[in-house]
Amino acid sequence: MSQLNALYAWIKSYASTQHTRIALTEINSIISGMTGIPREHLLTHEDIVLSNTDIERIKKAVKKRATHYPLQYIVGSVEFMGINFLIDPGVLIPRPETELLVETALTYMADREYRTVLDLCCGSGVIGLSIASMERNAFISFTDNSKRAVHLTIKNSESLGLTPRVRFYTGDLFSRVPASERFDLIVSNPPYVPHARMRHLQKEVLYEPVTAIDGGRKGMEVIKRIIQQAGKFLNQNGMLIIEHDDTQKRYLETLCTDTDQTALKYMKTINDLSGLPRISIFSRK
């Protein structure tokens, strides 16, 4: 038996003793992440030789994954919009459904020739950096209340060569954004999961920062604050595009009225690939 096949056999046996299963794609991601060997190379070269140090690191990572520790934290990266981003423990792991937010933003940017964007609650920066990667004339600002998240966004912007077109703030929502700043577009994936649903989330999510997920009793605490404040930071024809829970559409539709003090009006909600309401769009009144 080759060294690689022996390692696969050990992983399968260990996972069985832990009453769990680790998919082959995840195993190869772990091996690749620990050794630098491309995943596709693992599928075609079973005679690969691994050092004892590599094997021990792989086994340690597998044991961690068997506890439902997120694979992305183990390998230190995540793919989003076809781009490889760094990811660290303590920062929210981007989800595939958030790609709809980026795709929607890019559509409006092309139609309205938007150039200035604020990625609010930026986390690892994948939303704004994806936009910057695909819109070469865009200038993106990022803000988050987590210093760790902002530091990771800076690292991701450097690795993608985007630093000339980005700016960073650390603070609660708009608190550190200069009052005179105006944007064509604000995009945000804020904490929005209703508190009662937190206990029903996958075990992997329990390793992620609660403050980036828990949106309060109805999941709307941060979203309401964003909608109340965002209009003051938008240009006259600017827009806010925000991701939210699939239970919140009706509330968002009625949140902005002609008599309230917000500077925004509700435009529409877009469903995700599962047919669930996921992205809502607001424009400056």
pLDDT tens figures, 179-237 = 999 999 999 999 999 999 998 999 999 999 999 999 998 999 999 999 999 999 999 99
Instruction: Give the pair of three-digit tokens for residue 205.
Output: 């999510």
Residue with tokens 């827009």: 239
Name the band, by pLDDT with cuts 50, 70 and 90, for residue 261: low
Residue 257 has pLDDT above 80, yes or no: no
Name the band, by pLDDT with cuts 50, 70 and 90, for residue 260: low
pTM: 0.93
Can you identify the CATH homologous superfamily of domain 91-284?
A: Vaccinia Virus protein VP39 (3.40.50.150)
Q: Tell me where in the chain the CATH 1.10.8 domain(s) lie.
A: 3-67
- Dihedral over Cα of 36, 40, 41, 47: its sign: positive
Of the candidates 182, 118, 178, 185, the one whose C-alpha atom is nearest the C-alpha of residue 153 is 118
CATH number for region 3-67:
1.10.8
Mark out the alpha helices in the chain (DSSP H runs).
Answer: 3-17, 24-35, 39-44, 52-65, 71-75, 99-112, 126-134, 147-159, 221-230, 249-255
Q: Tell me where in the chain the CATH 3.40.50.150 domain(s) lie.
A: 91-284
**Inter-residue contact 64 to 33 (CB < 8 Å):** no
What's the mean pLDDT in 66-73?
96
pLDDT of residue 252: 92
Mark out the alpha helices in 66-219 (DSSP H runs).
Answer: 71-75, 99-112, 126-134, 147-159
pLDDT of residue 1: 58
- The alpha carbon of residue 235 and the mean position of all alpha carbons in its chain are separated, in whole angstroms, by 26
Least confident of 15-24, 59-68, 144-153: 15-24
pLDDT tens profile 142-176: 999 999 999 999 999 999 999 999 999 999 999 99
